[in-house]
Structure 1
């Protein structure tokens, strides 16, 4: 036999090495962490950034464009009152409130688009 038949093919040796590396990673993952490993992890991750709460985000967004939440409230109010009028058999007022709801939805969409345009204008200036 020739020597090339006895030697392992080159693809096989390159395949074995990553497998051994993966086994080392699995061994490390199965080890129990010590009590102070989180301290080193925190240092490795860098400084902690402030995470904005839902209330803080609402206040910030309301300050940037107050017309969107107001339009949403107007839409919800018109819808609620219109459904109440429909339930109490006041169909004329119910129809009027559904029209008011559509106007309020249009106002909300216009406020949204206006806010996006204003935001894009601010980002172009800076």
Structure 2
């Protein structure tokens, strides 16, 4: 059994700093952006995703409200509407990914 060679670290380990991994940068963008700025940028890139999320939340909220009031048929209709809104959101995400990949190729 061969003995391992001596390990010489290139830089001392700093727990307060992120690790340096060759080929990976800490951020994709050169400037750091706040949550609000990122949300606005992503909404402008694909506005259908937030619309689908709001539709899903609205159908869920109204469906639960109807369930609480005892309107079972309306509640079932709203739950089916919620599923359709979720499907719309997933399709919007996939379409946005397809469009952004086509833009990056150009």
Normalising by structure 1, we get a TM-score of 0.61
2:85 is the counterpart of 1:117: no
Match of 1:80 among 41, 49, 61: 61
Cα displacement string for residues 25-48 of structure 1 (whole angstroms, at most 9, x for unaligned residues) = 8xxxxxxxxxxxxxxxxxxxxxxx
Please tell me the root mean square deviation across aligned C-alpha atoms, in Å: 2.1
Considering Cα pairs closer than 8 Å and 6+ residues apart, tell me whether 1 or 2 has the greater RCO.
2
Shift of 1:80: 0.5
Misfit runs of 4+, over 4 Å: none
The alignment covers a number of residue pairs equal to: 83
Shift of residue 89 of structure 1?
0.1
Question: Which is higher, the Rg of structure 1 or of structure 2?
Answer: 1
Could you say which residue in structure 2 is the equivalent of 1:99? 80
Shift in Å, 1:55: 0.3
5+ residue gaps, structure 2: 1-5, 13-29
Higher helix share: 1
Tell me, which stretches of 5 or more residues in structure 1 are unaligned? 1-14, 19-24, 26-48
TM-score of the aligned structures, taking structure 2 as reference length? 0.72
